[in-house]
Amino acid sequence: MKKIVMIGYGAMAQAVMPLLPEAVKVGWLVVMPEDVAKIQTIVGDEIQVVSSVAEIIGNPDCAVEMAGQLGLKAHIFDLIAAGIDVGVISVGTFADTDFQEAVTRAAKAKGVKVAILSGAIAGIDGLASAKLAGLDSVLYQGRKNPRSWKGSYAEELIDLDQLIEATTFFRGSAREAAARFPANANVAATLALAGIGMDQTAVELIADPEMKRNQHKIIAQGTFGEMEITMMGVPLADNPKTSMLAALSVARFCRQLDEALWV
C-alpha cells in the first residue's frame, strides 16, 4: 500500500482521487488554512487535512501538487526537506529561473526526485529523447476560443469581443508566455524543460472564434527529424480552465507508484 500527499483540493484533485488504484491511497491533503475544517468534513477521518507539510503525521511515499504556482512555491521546499518525492503539475512556476535553481539544489542535496508531469499535452517523452541528438527549434501554439482568454493579459493586446477570425495575439518565448499568462503557462513550460529551454522555445497564442475546445500544437525539428503533434483538449466539467488530460497525467503518475513495469 502506498500513501500519498496531495497538495491542493480543487477540481483536478477531486477528479484524480476516484482514479487511484486500490494500492494507492491519499493519506494527507494540504490546503489553505481557512479550508481545513470544511474539507476535513468532506473527505472524512481516513485522510488528514492540514495547511502545511510540517503538520503531516506519518511517512508519505510521495506527494503530488495540484495547487497552482503559489501553492507549489509555498510547499515544495518543505516537501523536499522532509525527503518526500513530488510530482508537479504547476510547471509554469519553473519559468522563474531562481526558483528552478533553488528547487534543483535542494532536491539534489536531499536526494529527492521532483517529477515534471506531462499535463495537458502528449509527446514530452519523444521531445526529451530528441533533445539528446540536438533540437533546432520547438514551437508551441495554443489556440482557444476568445472566451477562454478572458481575464488574461490577452485583453490588453486584442479586443476579444470583436474577433471574427483566428488571430495570433502573442509571439514570444516560453519564459515570456509564462510571465504574461501564468494560468496558461504549464504546457509551454513543460515543453521548454523537456526540450531546448525557456528562452529558446517559441510560443504563439491564438484566439479563434471557431474553436470549441482548447488546441495545443507542438512543432519540433532537429537531428532526429520532425515532430508535429496536435491535441484537442476536453476540459474538466467542474473547471473549464483545467484540462482533463492534465488530471489524468496526475492519476497515471500515482498509479505508477505501485507498478513494477513502467511505460
Residue 257 Cα distances to 22, 49, 75, 102, 262, angstroms: 12, 22, 21, 26, 9
Beta bridge partners of 226: 221
State the angle between helix axes of 124-131 and 186-194 in degrees (0 to 180), rounded to the nearest 10.
Answer: 30
- Please give the Cα distance from 246 to 236 (Å, whole number): 9
Task: Please enumerate in sequence order all residues whose Cβ is within 8 A of that of 219, keeping only pairs 6 or more positions apart, or say none.
Answer: 137, 138, 139, 141, 226, 227, 228
Q: Are 220 and 139 in contact (CB under 8 A)?
A: yes
Catalytic residues: 216
Residue 234 Cα distances to 87, 108, 172, 182, 212, angstroms: 22, 36, 26, 20, 9
> What value, to the nearest 5°, has the Cα angle with vertex 250 and ends 244 and 256?
135
- Please give the Cα distance from 3 to 115 (Å, whole number): 17
- Please give the Cα distance from 117 to 33 (Å, whole number): 26
- Please give the Cα distance from 10 to 216 (Å, whole number): 23
120 annotated ligand binder: yes
Nine-digit cell string for 218 = 507542438
Nine-digit cell string for 253 = 503518475
Binding residues for NAD(+): 120, 186
Binding residues: 120, 186
